[in-house]
Amino acid sequence: MEDPNFWLERWQNNEIGFHSEDVQPALIAHWPTLQIAKGARVFVPLCGKTLDMAWLSAAGHVVVGSELSPLAVDAFFAERKLTPQTRLQPPFTIKSAEPYDLWCGDFFALRKNEINAAAAYDRAALVAMPPNLQPRYAAKMAELLPAGAKVLLIGLDYDPKEMQGPPFNVPQARVRELFGKDFDVSVIDARDGLTKSEHLKKRGITWLEEASYLLVRHA
């Protein structure tokens, strides 16, 4: 893994500019087109305490999140006024309150039978990975998801000369390169992402493309 302290300290210091008080418009717009059955388990890698998980639960899904920081996991449940049950499955601590199962620990330590999801949603997960870890991230997603599984992935592209990640810029060609071996990759939508990203605008970027992808796991 990258230095875990980087993210743990971000949560300790409440430097969580990536967290949004709104559900991602791309999730609301595109998730229904994936036609994932109600009741299906949806994997949310690097989930933070995103409200998107609450939206997925309201859409009828069981949500399986992966998150390094116990602060994020605890905040997610506290903000929903849920008291989770805790179980240990080393190296993970799993906190659960229906319909959420949040696996606290390193995403790269997860194993396929532990997740058992029919679909996944990636916002600010791939792009949180530095370029050298992105191939491992893509390979892990392929390992964790069964054939036919669908992923809604939100990617960001900007001029890397204007800002240092995270989030890292992942152009469309790079998404195809990373996932193309194990997934069918299609672009659902690509649009300006800067207008709604005040925290990134302040860091000096002058353009930002937010692209939504559908990935379908090959057999």
Task: Return the range that interacts with ligand SAM (CB under 6 A); candidates 25-33, 40-48, 86-94, 210-218.
Answer: 40-48
193 counts as binding ligand SAM under rule CB under 6 A: no
The contact mask relative to ligand SAM for 51-80 (x = CB under 6 A, - = no) is ---------------xxxx--x--------
Assigned token pair, 130? 């530095």
Give min distance, CB of 66 to ligand SAM, in A. Answer: 5
Q: How far is CA 187 from CA 46, 153, 196, 211, in A?
A: 22, 9, 20, 7
Q: Which of 54, 80, 106, 209 binds ligand SAM (CB under 6 A)?
A: 106
Residues in the interface with ligand SAM (CB under 6 A) total 21
Give min distance, CB of 202 to ligand SAM, in A. Answer: 16
158 counts as binding ligand SAM under rule CB under 6 A: no
Distance CA 67, CA 61 (A): 18
**Range 108-137, binding ligand SAM (CB under 6 A):** 108, 123-125, 128
Please list, in sequence order, all residues whose beta carbon lies within 8 angstroms of the beta carbon of residue 138, skipping any fewer than 6 positions away: 126, 178, 179, 182
SS3 (DSSP) at 84: coil
Assigned token pair, 20? 């949004």
Assigned token pair, 132? 């050298």
Do residues 52 and 70 make contact, with C-beta atoms less than 8 angstroms apart?
A: no
212 counts as binding ligand SAM under rule CB under 6 A: no
Cite the DSSP H helix spans in 124-213: 134-144, 172-179, 198-201
Q: Which of 43, 76, 107, 183 binds ligand SAM (CB under 6 A)?
A: 107
Residues at the contact surface with ligand SAM, assessed by CB under 6 A: 1, 7, 18-19, 46-48, 50, 66-69, 72, 106-108, 123-125, 128, 166
